[in-house]
Amino acid sequence: MKRCVLLAALVALLAPAAARANGDPASDVLLTDKVFLPYEAPISKSAAQELQATVAEANRKGFKIRVAVIAFTGDLGTAVPLWRHPQSYSKFLWSEVAFVYSNRLLVAMPSGFGFWNGKKPIGRELRVLEGVKPGTTPTALAESTTAAVRALAEANGVALPKVSSGGSSTNRDRYVLGVAVLVFLLVLFVPTRLIRRRGRGGGQSPSAEPR
């Protein structure tokens, strides 16, 4: 009897893990996080932060949404056959996380956007997404996904303020680079000029003349 109880408890513990061991990384990440970003895709830090901040603000304002950015086939794991089929993958992904999260789900691929929300109608959302052009490179895809989230929220009467991260980061990097170049030039040329001046001054110094 005790063995049966222990076996039943073990099965109960392993069941959720087995349900999550489905092969596509986004289905694991979106159980707890609101945004899935590719692990190895070269997405700029500013674009990633802007997307995450926009999604967080949307959820804070009551517009519940989770997002998966799929830049390459490797981001799909064993769901590779759904590559270039964002709408089909959004439905598939939603069904995998529905036991934890069952609200709006946006999928972004270079080929387009997908949207699913269980049994609720999604025609309006799909029409909104048709007006957003997906980026074809990882960073551009993340940026267009931010635009898609904003458009979907706006269509539902939720205004999201723009997050200023990309421009300020770029400007800061340029400023740092400019300062570094200036310091390098000062180190390279100023000592040389000082040595030359000292040399000329030493030749003209009265103490250097014979008495």
DSSP codes of every residue in 98-128:
TTT--SEEEEEETTEEEEE-TTS--HHHHHH
Per-residue pLDDT, averaged over 147-169, amounts to 83
pLDDT band at 163 (very low <50, low <70, confident <90, very high): confident
Kindly report the average pLDDT of the chain as a whole number: 80
pLDDT tens track for 61-72: 999 999 999 999
Q: Please report, for the chain, the start and end positions of each structural domain, with discontinuous segments joined by +.
A: 15-155, 166-201
Q: How far apart are CA 142 and CA 2, in angstroms?
A: 53
Find out whether 161 and 50 touch, Cβ atoms under 8 Å. Answer: no
Residue 203 has pLDDT above 90, yes or no: no
Distance CA 103, CA 105 (A): 6
SS3 content of the chain, % helix, strand, coil (to 5): 60, 10, 30
**The pLDDT of residue 60:** 97
CA distance 111 to 194: 61
Nearest Cα residue to 146 out of 44, 76, 49, 30: 49
Q: How many angstroms separate the CA atoms of 73 and 51, rounded?
A: 21
Length of the chain: 211
Look at the domain 15-155 and name its fold: Diaminopimelate Epimerase; Chain A, domain 1 (3.10.310)
Greater model confidence, 174 or 147:
147
Band of pLDDT at residue 23, cut at 50, 70 and 90: confident
Angle at CA of residue 114, ends 111 and 115, nearest 5°: 165
What single DSSP character describes residue 31?
Answer: T
Residue 161 has a CB neighbour count (10 Å cut-off) of 9
Interval 91-117: pLDDT, tens: 999 999 999 999 999 999 999 999 999
Burial of 54 (0-12, 13-18, 19+ CB in 10 A): buried
Q: Region 13-22: what's the mean pLDDT?
A: 41
pLDDT (0 to 100) of residue 147 = 98
pTM score of the predicted model:
0.70
